Chain A
Amino acid sequence: NAGVTQTPKFQVLKTGQSMTLQCAQDMNHEYMSWYRQDPGMGLRLIHYSVGAGITDQGEVPNGYNVSRSTTEDFPLRLLSAAPSQTSVYFCASKISGGLVGSSEAFFGQGTRLTVV
């Protein structure tokens, strides 16, 4: 199993450009989420999805869009990149069975994004 796969690993954007960060998992997990990691701030939740066709906002959703058309994929779109979006982005997935919230998250390797 590949687990959670993120592409690309590195990206440089100019202010105002748009792009999509890809995330795919092969574990048939219903729950998927996107976090950003900034120095001294830990991980902050951007958007999440509890299943295909269902998405919701996290703590820091502004400037980002998501969609969930399949169980496997959960892309994150930056509509108009800003320097404040320079960060490391992580995708994670969790199994949904059993006690809700009790399962551990599996993380991708991350995408390091720089907006200039």
Chain B
Amino acid sequence: AQSVAQPEDQVNVAEGNPLTVKCTYSVSGNPYLFWYVQYPNRGLQFLLKYITGDNLVKGSYGFEAEFNKSQTSFHLKKPSALVSDSALYFCAVTRAGSYQLTFGKGTKLSVIP
């Protein structure tokens, strides 16, 4: 079985400050890890993914994430938060060779002006 934990239901950060949204995972085999963002009343949009290679992956809108195999983590980061980054963020995992994505419960990010 595979699972994702997002330990924070909500993260508040001041505009211009760095932000981190945490994600840990559990999966048998090699993990494929994803971050998605959901704006109000919208579907999920893909931000970035880790498949293999460099542990630091860069994605859309200035976001990046670091894969840490020993800590089974894939935290989402951005150096300078924007008010427009306020949204619901989901981490997801699948194992290599599987299509089935398992999502975390989501973290609501609020960027305060």
Contacts and interface: CB of A to CB of B under 8 A. Distances in A.
Contact of B43 (A33, A40, A109): A109
Contacts of B34: 104-105
Interface residues of B, number: 27
B41 to A, nearest CB: 8
B101 A100 contact: no
Given A104-B46, A109-B43, A43 B103 contact: yes
Nearest to A30: B99
A110 B57 CA distance: 28
A61 B34 CA distance: 24
Interface in A25-81: 31, 33, 35, 40-45, 48, 50, 58
B113 interface: no
Name the residue in B9, B42, B44, B95 with the highest tally of chain A Cβ atoms < 10 Å from its Cβ. Answer: B44
A42 B104 contact: yes
Interface string B89-105: 01000111111111111
B56 interface: no
A22 B68 CA distance: 39
B14 interface: no
Contact of A48 (B4, B95, B100, B104): B100
Given A41-B105, A42-B106, A110 B51 contact: no
A102 interface: yes
A2 interface: no
Interface in B8-37: 9, 32, 34, 36
A105 B34 CA distance: 10
A101 interface: yes
Contact of B105 (A42, A102, A105): A42
A94 B99 contact: yes
Interface string B37-56: 00001111110010100000
Interface string B62-101: 0000000000000000000000000000100011111111
A58 B100 contact: yes
Contacts of A31: 99
6 contacts: A99-B51, A100-B98, A100-B99, A102-B51, A104-B34, A109-B43
